[in-house]
């Protein structure tokens, strides 16, 4: 037996139980908050709560073997795995906090969102301040990521790492929340009233929509824990593109907001939904409605 394999580490149970409790607590809370955002359930105190400032405890050497002994080399491999998992955990919780803050900032009673004509040039400053404040937070978050959690900006560059892929997708989710009011304004308000920042942000939103669809395509064709959410978010991105495209038929000046390749992205989401349609009747209903919208768009282009 060599010297490395003869070295072992003894594990006290207290650390293991504490780490397990914290992991379960954060996993359950984060998942419930994420699902509530998507499902639109009736009011709950969860809508009002903020995350505690305490993060899960870091892994310690005493948590590596679950009460058994391991060789030093095996313990090192496990330590590396736990370290990466813990970094991911902290990074994802930090993003979830930013998402909660962004949603709360919009929907509090005194928010800019309830200001009359917030989308106009004379009133868009509050919206600009809000968006830019959270973009700074996201940049800070990204700058602080350890090397093992960093991901490329190029959506065509595959990550092949589910943890970093999840972080990149969550970042896109927050940008979607920040930018969506501008898309709504472009789709629904008088074009002559839209402020320059609103138009620029709507353009960013549509670029973000195409970006999301491109990066998600890596996970289109296999079942994973985020398949349902992926279909929802990609469908939401598709609807934003179609909404602006339909509005641009009556307001041609808005056509410049649509990014290059947007039609291709729309087609990819159709293929995604068709692929998973046998899994859920709801997807069939969604697909039928989306086809109606595309038909309306094509009729407008031919008239």
Give the whole-angstrom CA distance, residue 46 versus residue 66. 34
| Domain residue ranges of the chain, discontinuous segments joined by + | 7-34+55-109, 111-303
Burial label, 246 (beta-carbon count in 10 A; 0-12, 13-18, 19+): middle
Give the whole-angstrom CA distance, residue 195 versus residue 176. 19
Dihedral of CA 106/120/126/181: which sign? positive
Give the whole-angstrom CA distance, residue 278 versus residue 256. 37
Q: SS3 letters for the chain?
A: CCCCCCCECCCCHHHHHHHHHHHHHHHHHHHHHHHHHHHCCCCCHHHCCCCCCCCCCCCCHHHCCCCCCCEHHHHHHHHHHHHHHHHHHHHHHHHHHHHHHHHHHHHCCCCHHHCCCCCECCCCHHHHHHHHHHHHHHHHHHHCCCHHHCCCCCCCCCCCCHHHHHHHHHHHHHHHHHHHHHHHHHHHCCHHHECHHHHHHHHHHHHHHHHHHHHHHHHCCCCCCCHHHHHHHHHHHHHHHHHHHHHHHHCHHHHHHCCCCHHHHHHHHHHHHHHHHHHCHHHHHHHHHHHHHHHHHHHHHHC
Backbone angles phi, psi at 146, to 5 degrees: -70, 160
User: Tokens 């509005």 map to which residue?
Assistant: 247
**Other beta carbons less than 10 A from residue 27's beta carbon:** 12
As a whole number of Å, the end-to-end CA separation of the chain is: 82
Give the whole-angstrom CA distance, residue 228 versus residue 16. 32
Give the whole-angstrom CA distance, residue 133 versus residue 157. 28
Q: What is the pTM of this model?
A: 0.82
Q: What is the pLDDT along the chain (303 residues), one digit of tens a residue?
A: 444 444 444 444 455 676 667 667 777 777 777 777 677 666 655 555 555 555 666 665 555 454 455 566 666 677 777 788 888 888 988 998 899 899 888 888 788 888 889 999 999 999 999 999 999 999 999 999 999 999 988 888 877 788 898 899 999 999 999 999 999 999 999 999 999 999 999 999 999 999 999 999 988 998 887 888 899 999 999 999 999 999 999 999 999 999 999 999 999 999 999 999 999 889 999 999 999 999 999 988 776
């Amino acid at each position: 037996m060599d010297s490395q394999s003869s070295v072992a580490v003894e594990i006290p149970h207290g650390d293991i139980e504490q780490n397990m409790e914290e992991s379960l607590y954060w996993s359950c809370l984060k998942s419930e908050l994420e699902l509530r955002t998507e499902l639109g359930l009736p009011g709950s105190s969860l809508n009002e709560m903020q995350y505690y400032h305490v993060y899960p405890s870091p892994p310690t050497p005493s948590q590596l073997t679950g009460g058994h002994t391991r060789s030093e080399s095996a313990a090192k491999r496990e330590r590396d795995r736990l370290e990466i998992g813990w970094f991911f955990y902290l990074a994802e919780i930090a993003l979830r906090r930013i998402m909660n803050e962004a949603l709360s900032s919009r929907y509090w009673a005194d928010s800019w969102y309830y200001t009359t004509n917030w989308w106009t040039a004379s009133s868009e400053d509050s919206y600009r301040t809000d968006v830019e404040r959270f973009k700074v937070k996201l940049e800070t978050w990204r700058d602080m990521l350890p090397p093992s959690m960093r991901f490329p900006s190029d959506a065509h560059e595959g990550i092949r790492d589910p943890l970093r892929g999840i972080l990149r997708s969550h970042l896109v989710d927050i940008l979607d929340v920040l930018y969506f009011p501008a898309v709504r304004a472009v789709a629904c308000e008088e074009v002559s009233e839209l402020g320059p920042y609103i138009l620029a942000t709507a353009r960013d939103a549509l670029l973000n929509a195409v970006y999301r669809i491109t990066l998600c395509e890596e996970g289109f064709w296999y079942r994973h824990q985020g398949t349902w959410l992926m279909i929802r978010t990609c469908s939401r991105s598709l609807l934003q593109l179609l909404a602006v495209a339909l509005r641009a038929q009556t307001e041609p000046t808005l056509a410049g907001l649509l990014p290059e390749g947007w039609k291709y992205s729309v087609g990819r989401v159709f293929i995604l939904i068709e692929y998973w349609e046998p899994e859920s009747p709801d997807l069939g209903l969604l697909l039928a409605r989306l086809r109606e919208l595309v038909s309306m768009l094509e009729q407008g282009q031919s008239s």
